[in-house]
Chains A and B, each alone.
Chain A
Amino acid sequence: MREFFRQVLNILWKDLISEWHTKDFVTPVLVFALLVIIIFNFAFQPDGESIGLVAPGVLWVAFTFAGVLGLNRSFAREKERGCLDGLMLGPVSREAIYLGKVLGSFMFMFLVELISMPIFSIFLNLPLLMPRLVLVAFLATIGFVAVGTLFAAMAVHTRAREVMLPILFFPIVVPLLIAAVESTSLVMAGASWQSMASWLQMIIAFDIIFLVVSALSFEFVLEQ
């Protein structure tokens, strides 16, 4: 068990170092997320009243689209340099590779969200950086990354891989997206914890189910 976690942490460490040197994930994904907001602003032309209605959706669409981009990057760069084959040949279990990649992508994605939330709140004139919203983002991002890592590992082995990931990813994360958007609007409306509880439970349930299922099925994705 200790050996397993050491492997997971090593894979995470490898991703952190590589990210530190290249900033391959965080920079483009952050820029992309901000651009989505700007595009939405032109598309919806929200005014003072309607902004509260569209903001949660805009926020999560931006995070989801940006997340797909990031998850694709995260595996594409492994593939480009033959890293993935090296990982698969190494004496590490597939579950360890999966968890290591999940942790890495989670950290980068969550960092992007933390940086973009204050910027969003300036552009949308809304107080977005609230502790409860950070909690929602934290929990929902776990689920996104859990499913996304599994599918990104598949997509990278296919033709048309850039488009394959969103096609696989979006239908599966529908429940997570609904729960994230709903709890975000509740937070922004200043609703009580009580009213958010069922949505948060749903996010947590999704996280647990798909972390377990994805970890178990990951060995079938990386097989050779």
Chain B
Amino acid sequence: MKHQYLHWSTALVAVDFALIVFALYLVFMWVPSAQEEAGGIAQRIFYFHVPSAFAAFLSFFLVFLGSILYLWKRDWKWDRLAVSAAEIGVVFTSLVLITGPIWAKTAWLKDKTGIWWEWDPRLTTTLVMFFIYIAYLLIRNYAGERAQGARFAAVVGIVGFLDVPIVFMAIRWWRTLHPEPVLESGGLPPSMLFTLVTSFTAVLLFFILLTWARVGLRRAQEDVEELRERIGR
């Protein structure tokens, strides 16, 4: 069984590596640059920015799901899923929060100079979400006993996930009172769409493999701890 898992994941890692290389080729060599208002050449960051954002939201949905199932079934495998997804979600959210401002600096102009940050609904919600899941990871580590940490974190995972849409709505109402930078509108030309779909698949597969590996690693960690306890060290 162990061997089969290894084979499958190795094959998938190889496939994803090829996909990422292909996506990089498309993004940097093949796809035409966007118009100036969208940031021109800097707009290419969008092909990794958007899939990362999607992966981030997906992982926080997994945290929510894992948290509910853990509190309900009390099976450690759900807790492993939730905490692994939270860690990876924080990584992808960081990617979003890093790539976003780099793009914005060239695309969002205010008085003819680019701005790093704008308190717009999507950005602000992502930032708040980032802090909620940092809190999720912190409470686990500070809760002492493992079962208690898992329960506390699960509650944060559920409450936090329910809070995110409310945060988004609140900020949208709040920001309608203020000027907002113009975002790209309308559909994408076919070449851009193709590049986006490719990078999306590559990033998403990467995300799945990463989560899978993290869950496996955590299980191995738990096994080691259990064995260590049994031999009394």
Contact = CB atoms under 8 A, between A and B. Distances in A.
25 contacts: A150-B159, A154-B156, A157-B144, A157-B148, A158-B152, A164-B138, A164-B139, A167-B131, A168-B135, A171-B129, A171-B135, A172-B160, A174-B163, A174-B171, A175-B166, A178-B174, A202-B170, A206-B166, A213-B159, A213-B162, A217-B155, A220-B71, A220-B154, A221-B152, A221-B155
Kindly list the 8 A-B residue pairs having the minimum CB-CB distance in the complex, ordered from nearest. A175-B170, A158-B142, A171-B131, A171-B132, A175-B166, A178-B170, A217-B155, A154-B152
A152 to B, nearest CB: 12
Contacts of B174: 178, 182
Contact of A159 (B142, B151, B155): B142
B170 A179 contact: yes
Chain A interface residue number, banded = 20 to 34
A176 to B, nearest CB: 8
Contacts of A34: none
Interface of A: 147, 150, 154, 157-160, 164, 167-168, 170-172, 174-175, 178-179, 182, 198-199, 202, 205-206, 209-210, 213-214, 217, 220-221, 223
A198 B169 CA distance: 11
User: Majority SS of interface residues in chain A?
Assistant: helix
Interface residues of B, number: 30
B12 interface: no
Which of A174, A209, A214: most chain B CB closer than 10 A? Answer: A174
Contacts of A199: 173
B128 A209 contact: no
Contacts of B166: 175, 202, 205-206, 209
Contacts of A171: 128-129, 131-132, 135, 160, 163
Contacts of B31: none
Given A220-B71, A220-B154, A167 B135 contact: yes
Given A157-B152, A174-B163, 16 more contacts: A154-B152, A158-B143, A160-B142, A167-B131, A168-B135, A170-B131, A171-B129, A171-B132, A172-B163, A175-B166, A175-B169, A202-B169, A206-B166, A209-B166, A220-B154, A221-B151
